[in-house]
Structure 1
Amino acid sequence: MDDARPPRARHRPGAERWFRPPDEERRGPAGTRPPWLSTLLVTAVVLIGSGFAGRNQPQRVPLDHVGYALLCAGGVLLLFRHRFPRTVTCGTAAMTAGYLAAGYPYGPVFAITALGVFAGIVGGHRRVAWAALGGLWLSHLVLAHWLYAWLPPAHDHAAPWGQELIVTAWAVAVVAVSELVRVRREQLAKVRAERAAAARRRADEERLRIARELHDVLAHSISVINVQAGVGLALLDDDPEQARTALTTIKAASKEALGEVRHVLDTLRAPGDAPRSPAPGLDRLPELTEQAKGAGLAVDVTTEGGHTALPPGTDLAAFRIVQEALTNIVRHSGSRTARVLLRYGPRSLEIGVDDDGPATTGQGEPAGGGNGLVGMRERAAALGGTVEAGPRADGGFRVRARIPLAAPPGRATGTDTVTPDATEEES
């Protein structure tokens, strides 16, 4: 049986944990928590680093209360970088431009802008982030080469053009790293979505498989019980011995049904454990014919070709197809005889089930209200096979199934799951 358990969400190997989006991004803006720790760390590094940088740049304006206020304002903006990435990106770029226009020392101040641009790009606002970073680069270019004479510090000189190469390389590096992380996060989000979809699909397929098993088990057994109960009631006064036989058949059918239902429920309770009893197969066909005989249906089984051992999934599907076909005859046909043909070929197993009719409850009608034929087709399709069913020209009904003995590419032989076709209905 397929393992419908979802993949472990806590295990993130390798570099994935470095690229995963923060929890507040996954929860959305309504549940955002400010990133206090990282913001405090960056702000502290910028404040301390800018102080040391000012000592080595005596030509720049020393840091004062206004300079520290600008740096702290940038840190406050970073607290909201996950919730308002566009505002923070533009705000940090404007803060840095104002800081440079005031003539304060170069240094870690650019880390605030880098983090703001990073949040903008990773948050999906690439054009805003590029525009903000480009505006900062352009403002630095204008300040350093044209407006320096009117701005502090006094008696300043134009910056060397070689410095612009460093600034340009820094801007390109910020954009490149941000884009790399953005692409990686999108890839991981896609992988997570695909894993979740696969887990949901496996769970749906497993529920469908269990529903099919329960339907096949209960429909057959309850049909036998229903027929025998009617016989017992009819003969209770006139032929008590025959009524006793009917009750015995009911007891045996109900016991077998309980056993098979327990087997299905055991696999549902412990999906990772091996089943406690083997799944039914064609080796139990004699039991099936005896049950049908108890319901008043004589079954003639013919086998052609060399009998070969079947894979568990194929064996179970073949047994269930025959079982469902006989159940439909008991329920919907006035015939008291049925013929089962098993033809073993080198590449496929062909199954045929015929009765001579006539239909008593619309067996031959193309539109029915049950799921028997749907289940047959799903079982065969899961193994790459087909099922054809319909009325015969002489008034009977025929079921033909073909199941490959080798699983087609992309299918597991023991797997019994496909998407149901809502247009196919039971006869």
Structure 2
Amino acid sequence: MTAALQPPRGTAWLIGALVAAALFGNYYVYDSIGPVADLLQQQRGFSDSQVGLLNAIYSLPNIVLILVGGVLVDRFGAARMTLVTAAICLAGALLTAFSPNFTGMAAGRLLFGIGAETFSIATLAAIADYFGGRSLALAMGLALAIGRLGSFSADMSPTWFAAAYAQTWQQPLIIAAAIAATSFAASVVYWRVDRRPREAGLLPTGRTAEKLAWRDLLHFGRAYWYLLALCVLWYSVILAFRSTFSIKYFQHVHGLDLATAGQMNSYVFLAAVFATPAFGWLCDRFNRYAPFLAFGALLLPVALAVMALTHWSLWVSTALIGVSYSLVPAVMWPLASRLVAPSRFGTAIGLMWVAQNAGISGANLVAGWLNDRAGASAANPAGYAPMMEFFGIASMLGLLCALALWLTAGRRSHEKTVRV
């Protein structure tokens, strides 16, 4: 898109603000399960396996659907798909909040998951439409930062909405559904604002949907496969622990009340809002990616060990996880673009997202099963040890993949005189 065809900057930044608002609601709803996990056990008798499934089932449909989500966005446009998927997410949030039993709540989270990942692709495509060639990285970074404020807000909700949490498990989820409604409203406004510049020819009217070419996988080098394995292992630990079980763990093992546990968990997301763009800038400035990625991967098992094996302040492990959560995503996706040919980048990212969703689902299910098997509870805090061992082993395997990637990519870049 040439400069002459670009929409006015004021319109572009309005779209950016609307997309950011929509992402805020989407992130909030995803992370709304963790703060109510203990209430679901106390008031509804849910097991940890069931609580884990409420987040695992979000990722399950995207093991397949993420392969077609980008094609749908290309075919029907970012604005229309943002609107449709935001409506699906709202329906899922409402079903989760108002279901009378576990089956209904699980169906709601499944419906939310069906919409949410394609929603994420559509919102990123929206920013690319309006900021292609000008301030793209800044606009995308700001939108994602606002989205992570949604995660921070979900963890802070026991403090901000203490009266709701003092009533029943349902009130906090009704608040999440109301925030999902604001996400849908922002998507409606974006869809309406988008129509005029698109009809005026200031935006692309259509793109050819990229097909997933399985034969291209044969051309990916070892460094890419190490990066994919790291992506699966690291995200599985981060999201299964931080978004599902960490608040319960802080309450039962470290004796925090619900509000304090939510605050402790929230600072990881708050740090990422500011640190992720900064780390990305730092890696670009030094033009080194693999060493930073290995360092970020190292911090996760160290943080888990500090949390599970010492009596140090939780601030130590929270700070370590916060740096890891900020650094790894800032490096992972730019590094992926250096490890595969541009013509295969879409296939490479799509495959990573598929594997990532499978890993997150599996980690949630395994962690919940381990907690139930060991009888983890406030009365038996030692029962959480198998779950922490599982997360520790997975994070160590991720570190090994990061080190192998560093060595492999280092040899590859030396041969091509490109540093990674």
**Structure 2 length as normaliser, TM-score?**
0.21
Q: Which has the higher helix share?
A: 2
Larger Rg: 1
Q: Which has the higher strand share?
A: 1
Query: Which of structures 1 and 2 has the larger relative contact order (alpha carbons within 8 angstroms, sep 6+)?
Result: 2
